[in-house]
Structure 1
Amino acid sequence: MPQAGLTDESGRKRRGIRMGEESRVRKLVLITAAVSVGLTGTAVAATTGSSPAAPSRQAEQVSAGRIAWTPCPENDRWQGAALKGLECGTLSVPLDYRRPRGKKLKVALTRARATDTKNYQGIVLLNRGGPGGAGRDLPLRFTNPARGLPKEVSAKYDWIGFDPRGVQATEPSIVCDPSFQWPGKARADFVPASQRDERAWLRKARKYAADCGRKYGGYLPHIKTENVARDMDEIRKALGQKKTSYFGYSYGTFLGQVYASMFPRHLRRIVLDSVVNPARFWYGTQLDQNVAVDKNMKRFFAWIAKYDSIYHLGTTQRAVERKYYQGRAKAKAKPINGLIGPSEWDDFFANSDGYRNYTWVAHAKAISDYVVKNDPKALLELWGPLDEAGQNFFAVYSAVQCRDAAWPKNWKTWRKDFGGQHKRGIRAFTWYNAWFNAQCIFWPTQQGPKPKIGATKGLAGMLMLQSTHDGATPFPGAVEAHRRFPASRLVHEVGGMNHGISISPNNNACINAIVARYLNDGTLPASRRGVDATCRPNPHPDPTKPAAAAAAVSEAPIR
């Protein structure tokens, strides 16, 4: 989704952000530190039962027959050196689960093995979001204590990353008409000035959908969330495990909800970070995002105004907002290097600064340099054209979103909804989001029926994490998911606005401590009416401090 595509720093929905070094993280906080950093509702309850046994030699042999693990290459085609230290393997799964003996596809996996086999806790399947986000590098996030999960906890698990069907190293992977996302020059303005402009965008969306249909007509009907959940269960079986644990961000929380609904007895522990609304997917979530991202952009502008002595863009939120849109108009009149026009401007800033605050320092400087000094160097250093991985992300994003649920087929509905929001002043993300999803009007497969989501008999506890002002997955979605899974616990980062708040660049120590306790022994916050526990957010960055400038990087959000 954003939607326009939920994902994180390497599975970006964004069309043109170069991968940067991840932001500097806080020191590791031990499991017992939660109270000192702002946790309330401190009574806890243990759930989830006995520890699993490590896979037997026989189970390993069975698994080895299906997944041949070898050291990952030092220079992977898709991930470069990012898989170094992991094991790589593939698993054949049915393309169509109604015909299990029919055509197969090969799911690409990685593994970081448990080092504390005496206290072995089983496997954890990982998903960073999207849909379309790559996942094979993720085990290194969870086994690196600097990311927030103590080594004594991570050592008890086998961490399993995988590229979902259609993504990167999983075969086949898909890429459709590249010109829709990256024509080699600045695109037309997302904001249509006339119905003629709308028709031009719709022709592009139709062309993209048709190209996907021509290339992958027999494949697209089977790229949907329910089948990714089935693939996950095949991974569990191949690894000789009666149950799996799961950790998903953003769209990965939707995948987790679907898996929990389909295979409740196969889950041991499950963490859902930045929760998708199970009542609004997928058209409705776009409209919800437009509102939430616009509010966060205004928070960004107010933060810039606070530091006018540095950025010189105005001393009020409204003054900075005017300067921001003046910069957009300037890029429209003369695209920067012929590459960055008004649509790239929306794509770059709203799709990052509306999702998280730890890019604000670098991005505020880029805006200031361009608007005040007429110097685009900082912006050009942060921005880069969409590569093959980005094109692959968008193709899978489209395939899943357009397949999972029905979309309005009458453009008048879109014009009324998106155009109406824009007229009401919700403009930072709105038309961008419309054209990011318009291909679903013309998608060449059946759409829906929607997966059924909700607790069924046998499901263990579940940990949900949500910030108040999350732009990609607004807070009401977590409330709805919490309602549908009564055994879940909802942890609220009160006043926070980042998307992806645990074991991430944001690294909230309070949130991480709750996650660590749960993964360590199944301890969840005690059940309370409504939200079950709260944490304070990390403060907004301070550009007057050298550490803030050093930490400011350009990472795509965890969608």
Structure 2
Amino acid sequence: MTQRGLQASRSAAVVTIALASLVAGLPTATAADSAVAWHACPAYSDEVLEARGLTGQQMSRFRALMKRAECGTAKVPLDYRQPNGRQITVALLRLEAVDRARRLGSIFLNPGGPGVSGYLMPLDLILRGEQGRRLNDRYDLIGFDPRGVGYSTKVSCPAPGQQKPTGAEGKATTRDPGGEKAGPLTREAAKRMYDGEVAANIACGRSDRDFLGRLTTANVARDVDRVRIGLGERTLNFIGVSWGTRLGVVYRSLFPGNVGRMFLDSVMGPRYRQDEYTVASAAAAERNFSRMAAWLAERHDTYGFGSTQKQVRAAILALLRAYDAEPKTFTDLPMPIDGGVVSMLASQNSPDWGRAGKALAQLRDVTGTTAPPAIKEIFNNTGTRMPPGAPEIQNTTMRQGVACNEDPSRLGFSAAWAAYQRNLEEHPVTGRGARFSVQCAGWPLPVQETPLRRTGGSLVLVGHRHEVITPYEWTKQMRTAVGGTLFTVDDDLHGSVTKVPQSDCTAELLRYFTTGRIGRGCDGVPVAS
């Protein structure tokens, strides 16, 4: 693009942001307000790249991509109602399109959360497969850390031990931190866990009210639009996964005139409510277990749980109840095994059914004091600790802030306990594995909801037919709320279109951003053989 063409593009972008800001009801921004300050990109050691799962050849490709990358920050208002007040920074990384002569624009990328870093997502997308590289042929790929995450301005809530507990100390797990035995959660233990969450939320929300109160999806969307202007882009093209889908629809609602092509994978529902999420996810998990039970029944000679779906279901439920009645402690495991573990194994996605079935069969047949090999492999794998210099993967303070600032379902203990009991009754196999938690109980900051609007512009909403984390019906609900094209993936993996290389789905993604056209769906990740 010529210098004159670039200036014209930036001028058009200023006009667009001015009109969109009037729609959003906030003061307008200019290109000068949104300028990106470019600087040297971070350098990562071999140790850091190994912790991110990269091998020798992948490391070389990563470093080659980093040599092409441009890194910078954009200043944005902490509070858009006070644009000249406190400023914070949003960090971004750009991989320019390889074929500059046929460049189609920029695609902003968000992997989900809230609270997940997207800074290196352009590199991750390319390293996963050929389609990501081809996407970068004609598009700049833009990764960014939302406010509160990674290299962007952020704060940290007090650690659990630093606030005064009203019951159990800090954030609780499925076990009572005061020493509750393994097995079904008691009401008394749940109350201590609830009180601990309330204490942690109060301490967190009061620790930096100004910053935490500005952690919302709407403000992240406004930040993204500032970055768009700073990059001189007339419209925003966007790929969002999980919470990134909410970011996408909120952006469309605030800035309807600025949207280019938008592809949202594993779509959240139009209402941001933890209580509704728990119910819908639990129902989806029980449905997906029926698929797993049918799969195990076809392999009765291997796993021995029965030759019909009904027999498998009865056998797994009996195993769950047996381990809840008499949890087992193995000498080589750091935790006892109870019905919650059985339930968790029965809640796996289809690519893991073989490993989960093997673990369940070994739990059924175990006789000694040491853990079965499959169980030991699963529960002794604590993951890789990120070494010094590694980029932040997820910021829990930002996650809590966004979730609780927008979620009006701050249930009291009695209502939360009743909902937990209904979940166990209605979903006897998978419900037992759900954590008792009311994420935002006691959060001291006001609820801030952003109305979603049906707008024009290109939009693809991707739903996974058997998914648990963001159930398929949410995609349909979101389409009713905001419009768009429904694209169905026939698998149960969260966000698999961008995360798992497979030709039929990723080819549709590439076709959409190249031509604006897309089909009705794709096969997705196949069920385990």
TM-score bracket, normalised by the shorter chain, equals: 0.7 to 0.9
- Residue 501 of structure 1 is matched in structure 2 by 496
Contact 2:329 2:337 in 1 (8 A): yes
Superposition map of 1:317-396 within 5 A: 317-322=312-317, 325=320, 329=324, 332-334=327-329, 337-339=333-335, 342=338, 345=341, 349=345, 353-354=347-348, 356-373=349-366, 374-375=371-372, 376-384=375-383, 393-396=395-398
How do 1:435-514 and structure 2 match up within 5 A?
435=437, 438-448=438-448, 450-456=449-455, 459-486=456-483, 488-494=484-490, 496-505=491-500, 507-514=501-508
TM-score relative to the length of structure 2: 0.77
The answer (yes or no) to whether the contact 2:106–2:139 under 8 Å persists in 1 is yes
Could you list the per-position Cα deviations for residues 103-155 of structure 1 after superposition, in whole angstroms to 9, with x for gaps in the alignment? 222222222221111111111111111212221221123334x5362644331
Deviation larger for 229-238 or 395-404: 395-404
Q: Supply the AA of the counterpart residue of 2:213.
A: P
Preserved contact between residue 408 and residue 447 of structure 2 (Cα < 8 Å) = yes
- Report the Cα distance in structure 1 between the residues aligned to 2:319 and 2:158, rounded to whole angstroms: 33
Cα deviation per residue 1:352-399 (whole Å; 9 max; x = unaligned)?
x54x32233334444444553432421234344998999954433222
Deviation string for 1:333-370 (max 9, x for gaps)? Answer: 437633465598379647xx54x322333344444445
> What letter matches 1:465 in structure 2?
V
Whichever residue aligns with residue 499 of structure 1, its letter is H
Q: What one-letter code is carried by the residue in structure 2 that aligns with 1:503?
A: T
CA 1:152–1:54: 2 relative to 1, 3 Å = farther
Q: Partner of 2:143: helix, strand, or coil?
A: strand
One-letter amino acid of the structure 1 residue matched with residue 36 of structure 2 = R
| Superposition deviation, residue 65 in structure 1 | 5.6
Larger radius of gyration: 2
**Contact 2:274-2:407 within 8 A present in 1 as well:** yes
Q: What percentage of residue pairs aligned between the two structures are identical?
A: 23
Aligned to 2:58: none
- Bigger fraction of residues in helix: 2
Of residues 273, 277, 291, the one that matches 1:299 is 291
Aligned residues: 471
Query: Are residues 68 and 390 of structure 1, via their aligned partners in 2, closer, same or farther at CA, if it must alter by over 3 Å?
Result: closer
Match of 1:251 in 2: 243
Deviation at 1:492, TM superposition (A): 1.7
1:283 aligns with 2:275: yes
**Relative to structure 1, is the Cα distance of residues 480 and 184 closer, same or farther in structure 2, using a 3 angstrom cutoff?**
closer
**In structure 2, how many angstroms separate the alpha carbons of the residues matched to 1:280 and 1:128?**
18
CA contact under 8 A between 2:149 and 2:392: conserved in structure 1?
Answer: no
Q: Tell me the secondary structure at the aligned position of residue 499 of structure 1.
A: coil
Match of 1:73 among 10, 29, 43: 43
The offset of 1:234, in angstroms, is 1.4
Q: Report the secondary structure of 1:446's partner residue.
A: coil
- 8 A Cα contact 1:175 1:392, kept in partner: no
Q: TM-score by structure 1 length?
A: 0.74
Tell me how far apart the structure 2 counterparts of residues 514 and 154 of structure 1 sit (CA, whole Å): 15
Q: Which residue of 2 aligns with 1:234?
A: 226
Counterpart contact for 2:125–2:499, Cα < 8 Å: no
Displacement of 1:207: 2.2
Unpaired stretches in structure 1, ≥5 consecutive residues: 1-52, 526-532, 543-559
| Mapped partners of 1:74, 1:311: distance in 2 | 45
Partner of 2:57: none
